[in-house]
Structure 1
Amino acid sequence: MAFKRGLLWSACAVALGTNGLAFAQNSDGDDDKRLATVTVTAQKVEQNLQDVPISITAIDAAALETREIDGFDQLQYVAPGLAFNAGVNARQSASTIRGIGTSLFNIGIEASVAVSVDGVIMGREGAGIFDLSDVQRVEVLRGPQGTLIGKNASAGVISIVTKDPTDEFEAHLSAAYGSFNEVNVSGAMSGPLTSGINGRISAYSNTRDGYIDNINPNAPQDEVNERNEQGVRAKLDFKLSDTSNFLLSADYATRDEATGALTLREPSAGGPGTGLLGFGVPVIGPVSAANGITAGPENTQIASEAEFSSEMDALGVSGEYSQSFGDFEFVSLTAYREWTSVDNNDSDLIPLPFLAINSGDLAQDQFSQELRLVSPRDQTLTYTIGAFYFRQNIEQDNIQFGTAGLDLLGALPAGLRVGTNLQSDFEETNYAVFGQGQYAVTEKLSLIAGLRLLRSEVSGGQEKFVADGAVAPYAGQAVSNGRESASDEESAVVWRLGAQYYVNDNLNLFATLTRGYKAAGIVQGLSVRPIQGNMLPTVDAEIPTQFEAGFRKTSLDGRLVTNLTGFYSEIEDFQAQTLIPGPSGTPIFTVANAGKVETYGLEGEVTALPTDNLTLSTAFAYTNATFDEFDQAPCYALQTAAQGCVTQGGNRFQDLAGKDLANAPEWVINALARYDFSLTDSIDAFAQVGVQYRGESQSGITGDPNTVMDDRTLIDAQIGTRLWNGHGELTVFGRNLTDEHFVEAIVGMPFDTGGYAQFRTLEAEQTFGVKLKLSY
């Protein structure tokens, strides 16, 4: 351990001593040309990114547009250290930062990465997984951020900041068309409405055909994993007086898509314990082959008979009141949000009714209130103090209904069905007082301290019934004997200590030690069996402790920016979801506390302006994320004793100490080259190429060698021209130009023990498009 830490900080020191040399010889001597200042609100106040002692990537509106980033899941292609675990629906999809994250089919467990929209924390990450429209910037904060940002920021925060009303009239309209009949349209208008009131309204519509073919002629859809989303946002900015302001915001987004389809990657090889429910009878592979499907990493076909659907609606309203008291600023942010999600998918991928219905119906609402007092920024002591209150309710109805393949095994008479209906609910209250300050010991040295005192109260319950039309519970699941429930109440302390030292105006060093927190959770699900007294299982709170150090440097008269951060984290009681064999052989989801997780690494960003026309940037993340302790981890399918699987008392488990976490590639490297030039005196143009390398990583936490996702290199390019004195812009773009085939998830195949399915994203397809933007 000591050796690894020493190696990490030695690398930081070497980089500090050598940075700033790149591109120096290419400077053309024009001191007026420099890189733009990046302003962020990561610490609840506006700051130059170079002054923030946090590992942060900020992607502004221009960068999002030129890289054609318009979806939440695409942020991982521009923010190293961030990965997105694409589930079959938004209820399960989740992000990881530095290898830490929890993707769950469980309403009683929250994610480790907080998602914030205009300062409002989403109660569940799925509520924030909508397209990015009229966005000012996205800030990805790595590591625990719980002192200033409430709730579940134990691994980091994805903060989305949308555009505010403007003092002068402006408007824009953009339309893009691309491969798979992708049509993206967005527009916004902003400006003064009357004296003291400015307004802004924006809307978008994004549609696309599916890229997975359902070749079953009787299927309700012949293409799945499509896109169909619309949304609108409105803001009113009331200037109440010279010292007070009120910003009212409202937004609504809707999605109605045929999505959630995986494809068959590898059928089971056959033999004892494999195939249908582990009975050695191969079904998925032979039936898929008989329907003309060739299983494999590049497979984009299924032959399902059931419907794939994902319908989501999200709406919210917030009010932000700000009042100046001399040089002090008081802010009150009040918000209410609702999120509903209804989905269904056919996970057997063949024209047999193993899962004729596999649906989830979720409704979530939340209310939050935050109060902040911000001190003047030009004092020896600067601070932000506040209070936070959050309440949410979630209700969910899950149905699994079909034959489960039992008819093929002679265990279910023809024409009959088995099925289970799970009705679950969850309630959470979280309230806290918090503060963070910085004290200037000298003009160069400042000390940092932050504290959050919080109280978390969670409760939840469920009941399981035989589904309507079924003769028994689904595939060995048990129905309830009354309501099953659990609750947990806990107080916690989150803190941060650190120091920042300005070597000069262009170079500062920082180091912080942070303690984070993610609340305890309740394990709910179709296959969860309560303990005595109908008490549901719970998992303990997740507690990260992180040391972080780095530097921020600007050189060559603002033409070169170099940032580097090293980190080391230990997470106690990491909340991990995994698949384990169910009573009938079908895999089921469960959640458990891993004893301890360790993650360390380096993150860096370099942006250079070697000439007035050429911008070069690169960002990288090296992450080593492993289990330090997890001796009761579940085995993967068909894992043998020689491979580390131990059987005791009918349970199979393994020790994952030293094994990799899921979705944590060692290396992620992004690079971008952009060249701006003039075609004529009135027409400017640009060309740019982006590259991302992502190393291999595990898709799940069980260490299954069959779920390792290969490394990949993606190349995108854009060529554009500005027309009509800058009021128009025409861009031609291409993604995945080398047609790299990859997947974002590999999972054990339901109903085919030893087989595997995969999730292919659109980014695994080579696509092209054209976009026209008009602005006033």
Structure 2
Amino acid sequence: MQERLLAGAAVAVLGLTGFGPAASAQEEDGVQENRRLKTVTITAQRVEQNLQAVPISVTAISGAALEARQIDSFDQLQYVAPGLSFNAGINARQSASTIRGIGTSLFNIGIEGSVAIAVDGVVMGREGAGIFDFSDVERVEVLRGPQGTLFGKNASAGVISIVTKDPTDEFAAEFNASYGSFNETSLSAAVSGPLADGVSGRISGYSTTRDGYITNINPNAPQKDINERNEHGFRGKLRFDGSDTFDLTLGADYSKRDQASGALTLRSASSPGVGTGLLGYGVQVVGPVSAFSGIVAGPDNKQIASDAAFTSEMESYGGYAEANQKFGGFDLVSLTAYREWKSLDNNDADLIPRPFLAVNSGDLSQNQFSQEFRLVSPRNQPLTYTLGAYYFHQEMDQANTQSGTAGLDILGALPAGLLLGTDLVSTVEETNMALFGQAEYELTDKLTAIAGLRVLNSDISADLSRSVTPGAVGPFAGQSVTASPLTGNTEDTALVWRLGLQYFVNDDVNVFTTVSRGYKSAGIVSGLTINATEVGGTELPTVDPEVPTQLEAGIRAVSLDGRLVTNFTAFRSEIDDFQAQALVPGPAGIPIFSVTNAGSVETYGLEGDVTLLPMDGLTLSTSFAYTHATFDSFSEAPCYSLQPVGPGDCVDTNADGKGEYQKLDGKALAQSPEWIINGLARYDFDLTQKLGGFVQVGAQYRGDAISSNTNDPNTALDAYTLVDAQIGVNFWEDRGALSVFGRNLTDEHFVEAIVGQAFDTGGYAQFQSFESEQSFGVKLSLNY
């Protein structure tokens, strides 16, 4: 049975599950006519396994495949991993991933996302801390569905596991340089090899810069090009091989961003009417001022006229030590890590030269310590298992300031020259401890039973204080100060489990079915607009834990003598107390972020990938994800701005003509397209005896989606298809490559998110990612 696990079905997808290509279409035996797809080794279950033998829906994308598709940043991962969506938001604090329709984009340090980010096995306390360049990455594994039994904390929707490259036993060096549209310049290099007897090391670094693609046409603006890119970083590793039974790896990394980014553009201005315009008073300001400045609002708008700066500064750094001790066939693993993440940002949300929101800043500092122990049994026996203990502690401090006129000067409610402003100071402290284990037992030569369990305890505390910004005459519109700090605490203990069966039909085909219970801890709602649960009280509101239950069944198959891989997985999940955030009208007419528990959510679908080597040099692959994600029960959901009042819309419970809530039963979840389809064709060929050439074309289709969990029809996102291509030549015995690439070749226009426009009730703004721009470039890669 062990040989079957190791052979699995013998192969996977050229370093890319269901979405080609490897750096080159190499055959296992060196004969082109008999080439087979390479075996892909992953660590989705915290041990090294052949991907084809892992009973989990996983997309494993090699670093070579990421480079081949010009995927060099976290937010681009969604374009090669079906079932994954990423909402960049206006800053790293709000950024969040969605898997199978489940995810929460939050302006709230007391609640975390549903997708866990792990780097070299270390789980990030907040997703923003793991968003960095993909330089020197060995592979990225996207694990769909609840993964809480083996991976750190929470992970109720899935895990994005980033594995960086290790030191090599022989000297090796890499260099990559590219230049493209918008002066996009990327440089990366790495050196690896032995340093002394039993000691090897690796050091790498990168730098990426790009001009902005949003233009600020205000002549007095501090920046002209917005949504630029400017980041750099390095990573180092040392590996000590003390003996045949012990090794130690020390790792450290640092990355920094300092860029003018986070700008939305005006998609549509409000129309005159009751409750529209500035603070809902029927006075149109944002639309007329934008038009006067020369801005044409609409889906294609890439201009703003702001008078304040857009800033996004982020630092992420830390180190870890992983020790492995072998004894009697067992492996004892210790993983110790400490990390810090700092984020400073400012966003001029009104988008016009008015001091409505002169300062809109956030300053976050997060640090975390984690310790994990794992005991891994021998793999050559009927019963195999992994047992472990986990400890995690993090502290977060955040300071926010919102100050300006809020438009009240135009309404005559604030004397000219005066400002309103609120300063927020908040902290969150969290401790998470767990005991966990997973076992596999061979019931027969072909049938294996799977069982996993995690017992965890989560303790979260928070406090916040709000005061009037120095120089302001009162708190910002719709906000209040705190006479004494507001505090909150939530502690809960939970069981996370997984049961399953895997049946090996033969050495090339296996099927599996699993049922899993996930968990995301309760949270504390904190922020500039959040008040105590009772008038005059000091207790912060909380949200209950998010608890998914998932049924999954799949088949993994290899045929045509290892030249065809077909993998399919069907799933159905029910999520109780889904932690939902929505942008809703606030008490002063300014949209605010509200967090609540939806009653329940249902998501089901089918994922598949097919990779084929039909002829010499040609690789074809396709993958898809069909996801139907809806609110099963959300009977008191917040209404969206200007939603009609009535039984089928915003329900009016007290007959005052103003709706209080809506029913979203059966409505779609935000950022969850039903269909995502990827495809890739790559052809490698010989030009001369010393030169090789390659051509590749890739495409992705993403279906319609809704941008807001309030199901606001004005936030509907249209479907789009992106096409990229690359042509190049290999030289220096395949150690060098020079290529020309193009992205979004059909110049497809799309937006990533649509939200209500600040200070213009009934108006809408949009976020356009760089991928919506057509771009071209050239790249040089050298490997020694």
Match of 2:89 in 1: 87
Q: Alpha-carbon deviations, 1:39-87, whole Å to 9, x = none?
A: 1100001111100000000000111010000000000000000000120
Q: Alpha-carbon deviations, 1:122-145, whole Å to 9, x = none?
A: 000000011111000000000000
Write out aligned runs for 1:546-565 (5 A). 546-565=550-569
| Cα 1:112/1:405, change in 2 over 3 Å | same
Given that residues 677 and 685 in structure 1 are in contact (C-alpha distance below 8 angstroms), is that contact kept between their aligned partners in structure 2? yes
Residues of 1 paired with 2:53 and 2:620: CA distance?
Answer: 22
TM-score (normalised: structure 2):
0.95
Deviation, structure 1 residue 656: 0.4
Residues of 2 paired with 1:638 and 1:726: CA distance?
Answer: 61
Give the partner amino acid of 1:611: M
Write out aligned runs for 1:658-673 (5 A). 658-673=666-681
Match of 2:7 in 1: none
Residues of 2 paired with 1:464 and 1:30: CA distance?
Answer: 68
Match of 1:13 in 2: none
**1:469 aligned residue (468, 471, 476):** 471
Residues of 1 paired with 2:62 and 2:482: CA distance?
Answer: 50
Within the alignment, does 1:765 sit opposite 2:773 as a pair?
Answer: yes
Residues of 1 paired with 2:652 and 2:581: CA distance?
Answer: 20
Q: Alpha-carbon deviations, 1:281-313, whole Å to 9, x = none?
A: 000100000000000001000000000000000
Match of 2:285 in 1: 283
Within the alignment, does 1:646 sit opposite 2:648 as a pair?
Answer: no
Within the alignment, does 1:568 sit opposite 2:572 as a pair?
Answer: yes
Within the alignment, does 1:582 sit opposite 2:586 as a pair?
Answer: yes
Q: Alpha-carbon deviations, 1:645-690, whole Å to 9, x = none?
A: 1123566210000000001000000000000001101001110000
Residues of 2 paired with 1:644 and 1:186: CA distance?
Answer: 53
Given that residues 422 and 465 in structure 1 are in contact (C-alpha distance below 8 angstroms), is that contact kept between their aligned partners in structure 2? yes
Deviation, structure 1 residue 727: 2.5
Q: Which runs of 5+ in 1 are unaligned?
A: 1-19, 21-26
Give the partner amino acid of 1:564: F
Residues of 1 paired with 2:482 and 2:627: CA distance?
Answer: 44
Give the partner amino acid of 1:600: Y
Match of 2:533 in 1: 531
Within the alignment, does 1:717 sit opposite 2:725 as a pair?
Answer: yes
Given that residues 366 and 393 in structure 1 are in contact (C-alpha distance below 8 angstroms), is that contact kept between their aligned partners in structure 2? yes
Residues of 1 paired with 2:552 and 2:207: CA distance?
Answer: 41
Given that residues 500 and 508 in structure 1 are in contact (C-alpha distance below 8 angstroms), is that contact kept between their aligned partners in structure 2? yes
Q: Secondary structure at the match of 1:435?
A: strand
Match of 2:630 in 1: 626
**1:657 aligned residue (665, 689, 696):** 665
Deviation, structure 1 residue 188: 0.1
Residues of 2 paired with 1:164 and 1:775: CA distance?
Answer: 16
Residues of 1 paired with 2:208 and 2:515: CA distance?
Answer: 43
Residues of 2 paired with 1:774 and 1:30: CA distance?
Answer: 24
Given that residues 691 and 714 in structure 1 are in contact (C-alpha distance below 8 angstroms), is that contact kept between their aligned partners in structure 2? yes
Within the alignment, does 1:700 sit opposite 2:705 as a pair?
Answer: no
Q: Alpha-carbon deviations, 1:724-762, whole Å to 9, x = none?
A: 222311011000000000000000011000000000000
Residues of 1 paired with 2:732 and 2:521: CA distance?
Answer: 54
Deviation, structure 1 residue 622: 0.2
Given that residues 253 and 315 in structure 1 are in contact (C-alpha distance below 8 angstroms), is that contact kept between their aligned partners in structure 2? yes
Given that residues 738 and 780 in structure 2 are in contact (C-alpha distance below 8 angstroms), is that contact kept between their aligned partners in structure 1? yes
Match of 1:743 in 2: 751
Residues of 2 paired with 1:467 and 1:132: CA distance?
Answer: 40
Q: Secondary structure at the match of 1:457?
A: strand
Match of 1:8 in 2: none
Within the alignment, does 1:309 sit opposite 2:317 as a pair?
Answer: no
Q: Secondary structure at the match of 1:73?
A: helix
Residues of 1 paired with 2:464 and 2:584: CA distance?
Answer: 21
Q: Secondary structure at the match of 1:286?
A: helix
Q: Secondary structure at the match of 2:610?
A: strand
Residues of 2 paired with 1:283 and 1:648: CA distance?
Answer: 32
Q: Alpha-carbon deviations, 1:238-295, whole Å to 9, x = none?
A: 0111100000000000110000000000001111110000000000100000000000
Given that residues 31 and 557 in structure 1 are in contact (C-alpha distance below 8 angstroms), is that contact kept between their aligned partners in structure 2? no
Percent of aligned positions with the same letter in both sequences?
67
Q: Secondary structure at the match of 2:771?
A: helix
Q: Secondary structure at the match of 2:318?
A: strand
**2:375 aligned residue (373, 376, 382):** 373
**Stretch of structure 1 that moved more, 427-436 or 646-655:** 646-655
Residues of 2 paired with 1:261 and 1:241: CA distance?
Answer: 54
Residues of 1 paired with 2:63 and 2:100: CA distance?
Answer: 24
Aligned residues: 750
Deviation, structure 1 residue 326: 2.2
Q: Secondary structure at the match of 2:578?
A: strand
Residues of 2 paired with 1:49 and 1:458: CA distance?
Answer: 36
Given that residues 190 and 201 in structure 1 are in contact (C-alpha distance below 8 angstroms), is that contact kept between their aligned partners in structure 2? yes
Residues of 2 paired with 1:738 and 1:370: CA distance?
Answer: 48
Give the partner amino acid of 2:290: S
Q: Secondary structure at the match of 1:287?
A: helix
Q: Alpha-carbon deviations, 1:621-651, whole Å to 9, x = none?
A: 0000000011110111111124511123566
Residues of 1 paired with 2:333 and 2:533: CA distance?
Answer: 46
Residues of 1 paired with 2:532 and 2:548: CA distance?
Answer: 28
Deviation, structure 1 residue 327: 1.1
Match of 2:14 in 1: none
Match of 2:237 in 1: 235
Residues of 1 paired with 2:642 and 2:88: CA distance?
Answer: 25
Give the partner amino acid of 1:385: L
Match of 1:24 in 2: none
Q: Secondary structure at the match of 2:599?
A: strand
Match of 1:211 in 2: 213
Residues of 2 paired with 1:250 and 1:101: CA distance?
Answer: 29
Within the alignment, does 1:637 sit opposite 2:645 as a pair?
Answer: no
Within the alignment, does 1:481 sit opposite 2:483 as a pair?
Answer: yes
Residues of 1 paired with 2:144 and 2:543: CA distance?
Answer: 24
Deviation, structure 1 residue 723: 1.5
Give the partner amino acid of 2:80: V
Match of 1:6 in 2: none
Residues of 1 paired with 2:372 and 2:476: CA distance?
Answer: 45
Within the alignment, does 1:602 sit opposite 2:606 as a pair?
Answer: yes
Residues of 1 paired with 2:616 and 2:49: CA distance?
Answer: 26
Residues of 2 paired with 1:303 and 1:572: CA distance?
Answer: 43
Deviation, structure 1 residue 612: 2.0
Within the alignment, does 1:753 sit opposite 2:761 as a pair?
Answer: yes
**1:320 aligned residue (319, 322, 334):** 322
Deviation, structure 1 residue 30: 6.6
**2:334 aligned residue (327, 332, 335):** 332
**1:103 aligned residue (80, 102, 105):** 105
**2:615 aligned residue (587, 611, 615):** 611
Write out aligned runs for 1:137-536 (5 A). 137-532=139-534, 533-536=537-540
